[in-house]
Structure formats: C-alpha cells, structure tokens
Amino acid sequence: MGSVSLTNICKSFGGVEVLHDISVTVQDGEFVVLVGPSGCGKSTLLRCIAGLEEVGSGDIHIDDRRVNTIAPKRRDIAMVFQNYALYPHMTVAQNMGFSLRLARVGAEEMRAKVDEAAAILGLEDLLERYPRQLSGGQRQRVAMGRAIVRNPKVFLFDEPLSNLDAKLRVQMRSEIKQLHQRLKATIVYVTHDQIEAMTMADRIVVMRGGRVEQIGAPLELYDNPANVFVAGFIGSPAMNLFPALLADGQVVIEGAGTLPAAPDAPPGEQPVIVGMRPEDMTISDTGIPAEVVLVEPTGAETQLLARLGGQIVVLTMRDRIEATPGQRINITLPPAKIHLFDPETEASLRTPVATNRSREVDHA
Amino acid sequence: MSRGNHLLFWTMMSVIGAVIAIYVLFPIFWLMLAGFKSADELARLPVSFWPSEPTLQAYTDLFAPGTQSAQLLDWPRLISNSFIVAVSSTVIVVFFGAIAGYAFSRLSFPGRDLILGGLLVSRMFQGAALLLPTFRLMNALGLEDSLLGLIILYSAFGLPFATWIIASGLREIPVELEEAAMIDGASRLQSMVIVVLPLATPALITAAMWHFVGAWSEFAFASILIESSRNTTVTIGLASFVDYFTLEFNRVGAAATIIALPVLVVFFFGQRYFTRGLLQGAVKG
C-alpha cells in the first residue's frame, strides 16, 4: 500500500480556477474522504490523483514518487467510477482480469487473482455473466473487484454509491469499510454525502469552491467545525446557525433571551453567528423561551421545530416528548456546546476543544 | 391520450404506413415478377399479374455463354466490379470514419462542433452539381475510366456522413469506460480498439451499410466516368440493358432482381443495427 501527498495543487479550466492551493496528505492505509457540495472540486482533485486531469501547479506524490507527468496506468492506482464503467461487452471475469490481460499476465495467474478477488466480494457465481445481467449492487462489487485484482498502491472512489438506492447504499457503505479494514488499503473516496463521509472516513477533507475548508477526523469536524460552512455541512439535521450578539460572556439572541457563552469565548461585545447542534439542546424549566412549531417523531428520536426569537431551530430529542404546536417551552444547552463564529470571516471564534473519543471496546 | 385514442392513432399510422409501403414496393415487386415471365407473356394482352408459367429463362440468359444478353454484357464481371468498388470504398470509409469519428467525439479542438455540423451540410449538396467538376478533376488525375477512381470518389463522398454517424455513436459511449481502461493499463489506441470500437458496432455497421448500398447503387458518376466495358458496374449495365431489351423486359427484371439482392441481404442482416445506429445520436440530445 502507499501514501498520497498533494502539495499546493492549483488547477484552472479555461480561466476559472477550480482548485486553489490544495495540500492534503493521505497516510499509508488511511481512508480519506473528500466531501463537499457539487462543484467544489473534489472529483477534479481525485481525477488529478488518478492522472485523468493534469494539475496546473503543485506536486502529487504517490509514496515518494512524483507522479505529475506519469500516465494513469503507471501510477499504480485503481479507480471505481460513479457509473461503475464496466466494459459492457466483457464478462465479469474479463472485466476484473482486464488489467492483467493488458499486463500480459498468464492465464493461470489471472484466473487465480480474479477468483481471489471474486471470493472477497462474493462474486464467484457471477463470473461468466455480463454487466447488464447484474443488479446495481453487484455491478458496484465488480467495479471494486476490478480494482482489487490490480493490488494497487491507492484505491480511488468517485461517488461510487450515488447510483444505488438508499438501502443498498447503506449496505455497500459498510462493505467498503470492511474491505478497507481487511485489505488495509489506502483509499481516497469522493462523496457529496456527509453521512457517508462521517461513517467511513478515518479523516475527512471538507471542500468548497475549490478550497479545503477543514481537514480532520469525523468527530473532530463535528465537535470543532473551523467555520460556518463546515458547521452547517457536517451533521444531520444540520446545526442551527443564526446571527446573535456576544456581550460580556452572554450570547444575546434578539427577541428571545440570553444564554451563557463558553469561558473561552472572546471578551467584549461583538456580533456573532451562533451555532447549536439539534441534539445538544434540551427542554428545561429555565433557559430561553421558545414556541413549538412542529413535532416529528421518527421512532428512535423526536425532532422538534421551535421558534426562537425570529429563528426556527431544530431540536433532536432522544426521549419521547409530549408537545403540541403553539406550546411554550424553554430551551437550554451547555455553554461548551455553543459554537460561535465571526460573521465577517465565518471562522470559529473558539479554541478547539479535545474531542471525546468513545471508550475503547474490549476486543476479547 | 386515452386508451381508445391511442389505439385509433396506431391503427391510422399502420394504415398510412401500409399504403406508403405498397406504393413504394409495388413497382419493385412487379419488376421482380417480370423476371419470372417469358418474353411472350410480357407482350401478351391482357396483362397478367402473376407469371402464368414461371420460368428462370431470363436468369439463365443473363449468364449462359452464347446468349444474346451474355454477349452484350459480361454480368459476372459487372457484379465483381461493383463489389470491388462498393466493398473497398466501404472499408476505407469505415476505417477513416472510425478514426475521424473518434477524434470528433473524444478530443477537443477549436471549431470541432462547427466542422462536425459542416459534415452534415455536405450532404445537402446535390451530386449533380458536382458532376462536371468531378469529371474534369478525375481526368486531370488520370483516374477516369478506372475502378480506383470510383473507389476514391465514393470514399470521398461517403466519408463525411459516415464520420458523422460514427461520431454520434461514439458520443453515446461513456468516457469513463476509456478512463477505466487507461487506468487499467491501456494506451489510448488500445482503449479505442479493445473497449470503444466494439461498443460502437451499431454505428460502424450503420455507416458501412449506408455506404455500401450507396456505392453499390451509384449511377450518375459511374456513368460519366466509366467508358470501357471492362470497368462497367451493375447500375450502368442495367441502364444499357433497359435500352437493349425494351421488348424483352423479363431480362431487365431478372438483372434488376440480381442487383437488388446484395442490398436486401445487407439490410436483412444489419437492420437491427441500422435503426439502433441511426437512433443512437437522436435519443439523447
């Protein structure tokens, strides 16, 4: 397996800069997800790593080799495409063995490698079929099989699950993650779905408009978003974000009331954007008053829309609650859970706090 | 549309289609039947539709040595001439059309779409307008009265549209397939030959069929360029046959039927590709 390092990558398409000075390092065996809204440059960046696009400036290293000018086939990478890109006129076995055939590997060795990959992915019974005879999930597996057979230094995934239905997507998500754990593969994975990013990644690279907004482990990004964009992008339902005033250690929400800010909030008085995660807020006897707008029970939890001053906020409750629209409630949340951002720069005004990792599970 | 209207619509379309088909096919059918009648029967009144005594005499007359028609025209030679011209120019057109079509569908260069549109525009010129200049050009090149001249000419005329058909077919093939092939270790040429062209078979076959039929049945240019009987093609042969045997039309019927056979065979085997190939560009905008 290998590492990937991107240093100061810039790229333009006809005068429009689509990648601005991007530097990311992917460690050997790491699962890194590039995530962001469409048009943020994540796929372009992946294609640059693959060699399907040339970079304008900057360096791409795979292991210690600079690969900028090296053809895709010599970069020792494998790529899984969004539409799978299976060769329609070849059987599953031929699809998976295609790279070996081009490399003039002997028939016996090819057969063995294809069988090995097929066994990993549960494709043994489908080897003689054609792609059109497979379901979406099976095609996805064949595309991964084609990558595995090559035993590359780096696996590149370009939105591999977005053509699947919701249920299959969840299933394939865990299959890919298990595959990563089993192969100890280095993976760079592109998606626009932040849940995919959160659930699969060792580290997430959040991108917007061709720039890297933040890089970190999923829960680091969740707990300490560096700016308003990351705060709103990571997490579902999204963090409640709205303008407020920070004054003498208090967050003043116009028309609603005040909440105590965290001790590390900047002193003095300034306008801020306040951020509150839906699940951090609780209903209590004290706190700022709000009015229930809508109650949405989902079974495991209940979502509550409430009017807080001029804002509609979302609360997520683990407990089942009895609430009716129009009912008056009080909302509170721990000061440490209140995120504050500069309205001008949109950057976080707080020093990041250590993320609470879950307790190690005993692998007995 | 309601179910009843739908049925009515398709019934009407079918009736109209059938009328057009009969209108177009009847003369051809009539001519084919004539080939199975005797010369006497054709001259007899009242005119009979079906041959009263079906005979292959007209066919044997065409090929049998010593008969009047065989002396006038060497049919096996005409047929082989036409085959040489049609097959060679089809091979040339499909080969270069595939290369050019690939470039038009995959590479980006200034004026690409304009030129591709221009290829279609070239179809709008009537060939007749080009007869004289072509004649003078081929004379100047010393290619008059030669099969090679016809091959070059037909290839030149056929290449633009064939390129256009193949380019639209190739555009339907996802670029990712080639990218996957290139990551898998293929060169551009390998990915074109192993992955792209096999998938473009409908477009290639469509272009080949279209060109073969056009070249096989071309008359105007062949008639002004070919002088010697050695180089005559079937269409010229048939035309002169009509002049010779106005009174023995059964021979004309037999000759026309034989000339139509390759076209029928080509469409019989290729029609499922042909419709698919023509639709390929049309379905997605």
Tens of pLDDT along B171-217?
A: 888 888 999 999 999 998 899 899 898 888 888 998 999 999 999 99
User: Which of B57, B78, B96 lies at the terminal end of a domain, its last residue?
Assistant: B57
CA–CA separation, A130 vs A94, rounded Å? Answer: 9
Domain assignment of residue B64, yes or no = no
Report the Cα–Cα distance between both ends of chain B, in Å, rounded: 25
CA–CA separation, A121 vs A171, rounded Å? Answer: 13
% of chain B exceeding 70 in pLDDT: 91
- What was the pLDDT predicted at B281? 42
Q: Exposed, middle or buried, B114 (CB in 10 Å: 0-12/13-18/19+)?
A: exposed
CA–CA separation, B251 vs B31, rounded Å? Answer: 10
Average pLDDT per run of 10 along chain A, which is 364 residues long?
90 89 94 94 94 92 92 92 90 93 91 91 91 89 91 92 87 90 92 93 95 94 94 93 90 88 86 94 89 90 90 90 88 91 91 58 46
CB contact under 8 A, B184 and A77: no
Do both B14 and B127 map to the same domain? no
Residue with tokens 């990915």: B191
Interface probe with B: pick from A98, A154, A156, most Cβ of B within 10 Å: A98
Average of per-residue pLDDT values in chain B: 85
DSSP annotation string for A184-217: T-EEEEEES-HHHHHHH-SEEEEEETTEEEEEE-
- What was the pLDDT predicted at A227? 94
Pick from B9, B3, B49: nearest CA to B27: B49
Asked if residues B212 and B86 have their Cβ atoms less than 8 Å apart, the reply is: yes
In terms of CATH, what superfamily is A4-228?
Answer: P-loop containing nucleotide triphosphate hydrolases (3.40.50.300)
Task: Please state the ipTM of this predicted complex.
Answer: 0.81
Q: Please give the structure tokens belonging to residue A272.
A: 């801020």
Do both B37 and B91 map to the same domain? no
pLDDT band at B35, cuts 50/70/90? Answer: confident
Closest A-chain CA to B176: A85
CA atoms within 13 A on the CB side of B96: 14
Do both B36 and B79 map to the same domain? no
Q: How far is B268 from chain A (nearest CA, A)?
A: 24
Do both B203 and B79 map to the same domain? yes
- What was the pLDDT predicted at A21? 93
Q: Exposed, middle or buried, A360 (CB in 10 Å: 0-12/13-18/19+)?
A: exposed
Whole-number Cα distances in Å, A65 to A3, A75, A99: 10, 9, 22
H or E stretch at A240: strand A240-247
Quick one: CATH architecture of A237-341? Beta Barrel (2.40)
CB contact under 8 A, A73 and B182: yes
- Starting at the earlier edge strand, list the strands of the sheet with A77-80: A77-80, A154-158, A186-191, A31-35, A203-208, A211-216
Q: State pTM to two decimals.
A: 0.80
CATH of the domain at B240: 1.10.3720.10
Pick from A337, A314, A347, A313: nearest CA to A228: A347
Give chain B's domain count.
2
Tens of pLDDT along B126-181?
A: 777 788 888 888 889 988 888 999 999 999 989 999 999 899 889 888 888 999 99
A361 vs B: CB within 8 A: no
CA–CA separation, A57 vs B251, rounded Å? Answer: 76
CA–CA separation, A49 vs A67, rounded Å? Answer: 8
**A5 pairs with which residues across the strands?**
A25, A61
Do both B53 and B77 map to the same domain? no
Report chain A residues whose CB lies below 8 A from the CB of B183: 50-52, 72-73, 77-79
Domain assignment of residue B63, yes or no = no
Do both B17 and B156 map to the same domain? no
Q: Range of B147's domain?
A: 69-283
Q: How far is A94 from chain B (nearest CA, A)?
A: 12
Determine the residue type at B229.
S
Do both B50 and B121 map to the same domain? no
Closest B-chain CA to A85: B177
Domain assignment of residue B62, yes or no = no
Determine the residue type at B101.
G
Report chain B residues whose CB lies below 8 A from the CB of A150: 184
Do both B213 and B150 map to the same domain? yes
Asked if residues B140 and B222 have their Cβ atoms less than 8 Å apart, the reply is: no
- What was the pLDDT predicted at B184? 92
CB contact under 8 A, A89 and B198: yes
CA–CA separation, B233 vs B178, rounded Å? Answer: 43
Domain assignment of residue B108, yes or no = yes
Do both B101 and B28 map to the same domain? no
Do both B83 and B47 map to the same domain? no
Do both B220 and B274 map to the same domain? yes
- Starting at the earlier edge strand, list the strands of the sheet with A339-341: A257-260, A250-253, A240-247, A269-276, A339-341
Asked whether the predicted pLDDT for residue B1 surpasses 70, the reply is no
Q: Which residues are within 8 A (CB) of B189 and not within 5 positions of it... i.e. 6 or more apart?
A: none
Domain assignment of residue B7, yes or no = yes
- β-strand pairing of A186-191 with A154-158: parallel
CA–CA separation, B130 vs B218, rounded Å? Answer: 14
A53 vs B: CB within 8 A: no
Question: Domain extents for chain A?
Answer: 4-228, 237-341
Q: Exposed, middle or buried, B111 (CB in 10 Å: 0-12/13-18/19+)?
A: exposed
Do both B89 and B205 map to the same domain? yes
**A269 pairs with which residues across the strands?**
A247
- Starting at the earlier edge strand, list the strands of the sheet with A282-284: A282-284, A328-332, A288-297, A302-308, A311-317
